[in-house]
Amino acid sequence: MDNTRLERMLINKGVKPTSNRILVYKALMNAPRPVSLADIECSLESLDKASIFRVLELFAANDIVHVLEDGSRSLKYELCHSDSHHTVDDRHVHFYCERCMQTFCLEDVSVPPIDTPAGFITRSVNYMLKGLCPDCAGKE
């Protein structure tokens, strides 16, 4: 995605496209997996972690990223895939490997819906599996 399209996309989501935001967005695009704030900090050494934090916070509030708790100590972020503002739409299942501590997107496995009891208003969903990824399962 070139910068012009990226900027338009951010504006479309209600976010002013500053240079930091573009950098963080690109870092997320390049990441093969959901990444932590510390991961982004490493790949973008010029940015302060507080700045990255605020970009991610803003992205999360504007449905540009999903936030995942995978059981590692740190939150993981990934780009939303759908263009919809309804974050429930493009949810897929995630898998956290307890050995290599990486989180995998099972892109082809969408979160099966459930019957939410009356009264609860759902804003987002997380379906997280934990165990061993294929690589680590082979090594045990």
CA distances, 12 to each of 5, 7, 8, 17, 54 (Å): 10, 8, 6, 10, 19
Choose, by CB under 8 A, the member of 16, 45, 119, 139 that binds a second copy: 119
Of 1-9, 18-26, 27-35, 98-106, the segment contacting a second copy by CB under 8 A is 98-106
Number of residues that make up the chain: 140
Identify the helix (H) or strand (E) that includes residue 37: helix 37-43
Dist CA 47 CA 44 (whole Å): 6
Q: Does 108 bind a second copy (CB under 8 A)?
A: yes
Q: Does 90 bind a second copy (CB under 8 A)?
A: no
Footprint on this chain of a second copy (rule: CB under 8 A): 67, 69-71, 93, 95, 98, 104, 106, 108-109, 111-134, 137
Footprint on this chain of DNA (rule: CB under 7 A): 16, 18-21, 36-38, 46-51, 53-55, 57, 72-75
